[in-house]
Amino acid sequence: DRLTKSAHFIAIKTGMLVPKFAEIYVDQIVRLHGIPSSIVSDRDPRFTLRFWESLQEVLGTKLRLSSAYHP
């Protein structure tokens, strides 16, 4: 998080479907910390799909996308 600079790193398989990713997210993050008030993402397609946006809306979480990498 922004205050403690802590992060969770969870190994996932390439090509994982969004519903499974959301399940892992709930099992690993929400279980430990509750529903976050916001999430910062690197614009990975798994975070920007309609399903994920809908899940965030239902949970009441704001999805904050970081700026794209510009070399």
Q: Round to whole Å and give the CA distance between 48 and 14.
A: 16
Mean pLDDT, rounded, of the chain: 76
Residue 63 backbone zone (phi > 0: left; psi -120 to 50: alpha; other: beta): beta
Residues 13-25, mean pLDDT to the nearest whole number: 79
Q: Exposure of 24 by Cβ count < 10 A (0-12 exposed, 13-18 middle, 19+ buried)? A: middle
N-to-C CA span, the chain: 25
Binned at pLDDT 50, 70 and 90, residue 15 comes out as: confident
Q: What percent of the chain has pLDDT over 90?
A: 0
Q: Round to whole Å and give the CA distance between 4 and 45.
A: 26
pLDDT tens profile 28-55: 888 888 887 777 777 777 666 766 777 7
pLDDT given at position 27? 85
